[in-house]
Amino acid sequence: MSARLIDGTAVAERLRQEAARRVAAFTTLTGLAPGLATVLVGDNPASEVYVRRKRRAASEAGFIDFHHHLSASSSPGDVAAVLDDLAQDERVSGILLQLPLPAGFDRHGLVDHIPVAKDVDGLTTGSQGLLARGRPGLRPCTAAGVIDLLDETGINLEGAAAVIVGRSELVGHPAAELLLARNATVTIAHSRTRDLAEVTARADVLIAAAGIPRLITAAHIKPGAAVIDVGIHRTDTGLVGDVRFEEVAEVAGWVTPVPGGVGPMTIARLLANTIQAAEAAHARTVQPDAPSSGQ
């Protein structure tokens, strides 16, 4: 392997420790720890695992845990009512509605019950609008974690050719916006892209977020490129990403492993967003004209 490994576990650990330090300082300053509310609907086993991990990490960092688990038979109105209560609750700094929701729920309509100032997943229409306009706000956790990992390499993103494979609201699209904000020259490839390898082979920075196991081969890579693998797939032989790690690592300059790459960054960024939301809310109580987010 000639590529250098980007160690997401180590970067995430640093971010988590930094969040915990800020939580301790906030608690000392205000007399009350900030709170993270997680809302889970139905009984998707993977979602249950993700929410448990997020709650545990938040508790370890010193946040107060507010958790609501609604049954799959609850109505969209029930979910909206929980979100509206949390929106009003001053002890709650951040609200996360775990996705996907059960079939038949209007994801966009429900997510938008979360106030922008508490939108620690960065998925409301308001937060995505702020991102599109390049204004301060809470950014989607996985996409923000991708940028953290690129920063770890020391690569200059300004003017770099960045290709993102995938255009989802959760990952691909916000990652493209964040790279654009860093003055990269951004291309988004997706399921209708005609010749994927021809597009990706021009990338100095390649973000693989298609959700297809081992889609990206050595033939997709420009020699020396930084490759960030967002995909996570459970197989009989263990976890794999969207990237064929062993062959891509022979061509790329930098590459993230799966596991241990982007995965740990999502939770670390959630903690960072939640303390950011708490600090900004506190700043508004002290100085009412302060912007709605500290970023």
Q: How far is the CB of 75 from ligand NAD (least distance, A)?
A: 25
From residue 124 to residue 163, the character string flagging contacts with ligand NAD as x (rule: CB under 6 A) and all else as - is ------------------x---------------------
Closest CA to 269 of 9, 10, 19: 19
189 binds ligand NAD (CB under 6 A): yes
Radius of gyration of the chain (CA): 19
From residue 225 to residue 244, the character string flagging contacts with ligand NAD as x (rule: CB under 6 A) and all else as - is -----xxx------------
Q: How far is the CB of 9 from ligand NAD (least distance, A)?
A: 12
Dist. CA 124–CA 54, nearest whole Å: 19
From residue 71 to residue 110, the character string flagging contacts with ligand NAD as x (rule: CB under 6 A) and all else as - is ----------------------------------------
CB of 143 within 8 A of CB of 182?
Answer: no
Closest CA to 6 of 288, 262, 196, 243: 262
Task: Tell whether the torsion through CA atoms of 125, 126, 132 and 133 is positive or negative.
Answer: positive
Dist. CA 273–CA 141, nearest whole Å: 8
Size of the site for ligand NAD (CB under 6 A): 24
252 binds ligand NAD (CB under 6 A): no
Catalytic residues: 54, 98, 121
| Backbone angles phi and psi of 208, in degrees to 5 | -100, 110
Would you give the DSSP letter of residue 243? B
Q: Which residue's CB is nearer to ligand NAD, number 33 or number 175?
A: 175
DSSP helix/strand/coil, 171: coil
Dist. CA 241–CA 234, nearest whole Å: 9
Out of 6, 33, 205, 262, the only residue in the binding site for ligand NAD (CB under 6 A) is: 262
Q: Which residue's CB is nearer to ligand NAD, number 41 or number 82?
A: 41
**Contact residues: ligand NAD, CB under 6 A:** 142, 165-168, 170-172, 189-191, 193, 196, 209-212, 215, 230-232, 262-263, 266
